[in-house]
Amino acid sequence: MSQQSAAALSPTAAKVVPSEIALVADMIQRARRAMAVLADASQTRVDEAVTALAWSIYREDHAQELAELAVADTGLGNVPDKVRKNQRKTFGTLRDLLRARTVGVIEELPEKGLVKYAKPVGVVGAVCPSTNPAATTVNKAMMALKGANAVVIAPSPAGSGTTRRTCDLMRAELKKIGLPEDLVQCLPDPVTKEMTQALLELSDLAVVTGSQDNVRRAYRSGTPAIGVGAGNVPVIIDTSADLDQAARLICQSKTFDNATSCSAENALVIVDAVYDRAIAALQRAGGFMASAAEKKQIQDVLWAGGRLNRHVIAKDADVFARACGLPQAALACKFFMVEEGGVGKAYPFSGEKLSLALAVYRARDIDAAILRVQEILNYQGMGHSCGIHTRDLATPRRIAERLNVVRVLVNQAHCVGNGGSFDNGLGFTLTMGCGTWAKNSISENLSYQHFINITHLSTVIPEDLPSEEALFGAHWSRYGH
């Protein structure tokens, strides 16, 4: 494990006053002492710790309390959906974690003479976002402790009250089962960039969800780091799609927690042959189609001053409609569609909107739709994910082969399924890697596997030595010696 000292901190972290540096260093040392208690723990004991953390937020009263606190703290999302997120994501993650081995021997391959042993990675420095200040905090802590690690959380300043309360609840559950509370800690208020940087540099593994600035600083910290890319999900509606089903799923996904999820649809690309019927289905599902003038009103309000307006992002539909000056009919709608024709900075609706606004594109055919999706991702959201509604399952395979994305979802409510679902095979998580396309170190959903080191015990096996002819024969016959 790394035993970095305050003296080893970067110039960025060195801006922290000495008392703050000492505070972070002390938290790291307390985390190491707490980890020592798990050094000889059985898989059963580690799983008890993970289950305790899950229960701390899954409990009905705690799920409700943390959801209410998150909305009050950040002004983002809505309470009912945050309750569902706190419980559903935690329950699914617990299911995945309890099915895995992370202590001692985790795999034996006698035919290869290999035995694999899991070991902790160390103290995890976890940066958590304001969009999910409770659910992401518990999610990362569960994965960290599954590997017999300790975790120190750096909350977003906007959600720090919620994250701190979440950590208090986790610590109380650990104490209840006789484990050190310091297996989970939270940076104290006021949380600064410099203090967070100190945590990133003193920890053994940095795991960052949130702003791309934090992700980049984690990768520059000198500590092994896992960060995620920006979302901006485009979804295709193909000619063979069940249009009403697609509309219901898109509405369910787009409106969940008022579009705080990076996996919520930000653009629809509809093939021309079904465009009008698809729009009608989306309107039946609760969508409002803005006129050209109303699109301008939405743009002026949503990007007031050239940046996303915190007074309208992730707000309830009626709040959004009133703020944008939309007509009375819009107040009864659930999300708001604007027709878009271009991609890039000159077309702000082509980027992530963190709101109930949804860009709609018309594509000549499925090939044009796929090209448009890649164009959108090239502008923003590279590597993250995309989706399609279709009955032709050959088309999703073409998308998966051609596009540089980690996840392609077929006939699903995107934000519900992208981070794992009970009816798909993706692992439950709130942290989704986007591959090197987004300059991320992982191209999959964050899981327990990223929180363990593996020792490989190798013994002699019967020699596996092919002939030269077996390896070079095809090359020689085609190109000569």
Q: What is the domain-level CATH number for residue 38?
A: 3.40.605.10
Asked whether residue 199 is assigned to any structural domain, the reply reads: yes
- Burial letters for 406-421: b for 16+ Cβ neighbours within 10 Å, e otherwise? bbbbbbbbbbbbbbbb
Q: Cis ω on the peptide bond leading into residue 224 (within 30° of 0)?
A: no
**How many domains does the chain fold into?**
2
pLDDT in tens, the chain (481 residues): 333 444 455 554 445 467 788 899 999 999 999 999 999 999 999 999 999 999 999 999 999 999 999 999 999 999 999 999 999 999 999 999 999 999 999 999 999 999 999 999 999 999 999 999 999 999 999 999 999 999 999 999 999 999 999 999 999 999 999 999 999 999 999 999 889 999 999 999 999 998 888 899 999 999 999 999 999 999 999 999 999 999 999 999 999 999 999 999 999 999 999 999 999 999 999 999 999 999 999 999 999 988 999 999 999 999 999 999 999 999 999 999 999 999 999 999 999 999 999 999 999 999 999 999 999 999 999 999 999 999 999 999 999 999 999 999 999 999 999 999 999 999 999 999 999 999 999 999 999 999 999 999 999 999 999 999 999 999 999 999 9
Instruction: Please tell me whether residues 184 and 265 are part of one structural domain.
Output: no
Asked whether residue 30 is assigned to any structural domain, the reply reads: yes
- In angstroms, the CA 86 to CA 139 distance is 9
Asked whether residue 440 is assigned to any structural domain, the reply reads: no
What SS3 class is residue 431?
coil
Instruction: Please tell me whether residues 162 and 301 are part of one structural domain.
Output: no
Instruction: Please tell me whether residues 309 and 215 are part of one structural domain.
Output: no
Instruction: Please tell me whether residues 261 and 382 are part of one structural domain.
Output: yes
Asked whether residue 462 is assigned to any structural domain, the reply reads: no
Asked whether residue 262 is assigned to any structural domain, the reply reads: yes
Instruction: Please tell me whether residues 52 and 107 are part of one structural domain.
Output: yes
Instruction: Please tell me whether residues 130 and 269 are part of one structural domain.
Output: no
- In angstroms, the CA 344 to CA 373 distance is 13
Residue 277 belongs to what domain range? 233-417
Asked whether residue 453 is assigned to any structural domain, the reply reads: yes
Instruction: Please tell me whether residues 188 and 248 are part of one structural domain.
Output: no
Nearest to 376 by CA among 350, 356, 396, 353: 350
Instruction: Please tell me whether residues 219 and 296 are part of one structural domain.
Output: no
- In angstroms, the CA 274 to CA 169 distance is 50
Asked whether residue 470 is assigned to any structural domain, the reply reads: no
- Is 262 considered catalytic here? yes
Instruction: Please tell me whether residues 186 and 267 are part of one structural domain.
Output: no
Instruction: Please tell me whether residues 110 and 158 are part of one structural domain.
Output: yes
Asked whether residue 318 is assigned to any structural domain, the reply reads: yes
Q: Tell me which of 262, 333, 386, 415 is the catalytic residue.
A: 262
Instruction: Please tell me whether residues 291 and 207 are part of one structural domain.
Output: no
The CATH number given to whatever domain includes residue 287 is 3.40.309.10
Instruction: Please tell me whether residues 247 and 210 are part of one structural domain.
Output: no
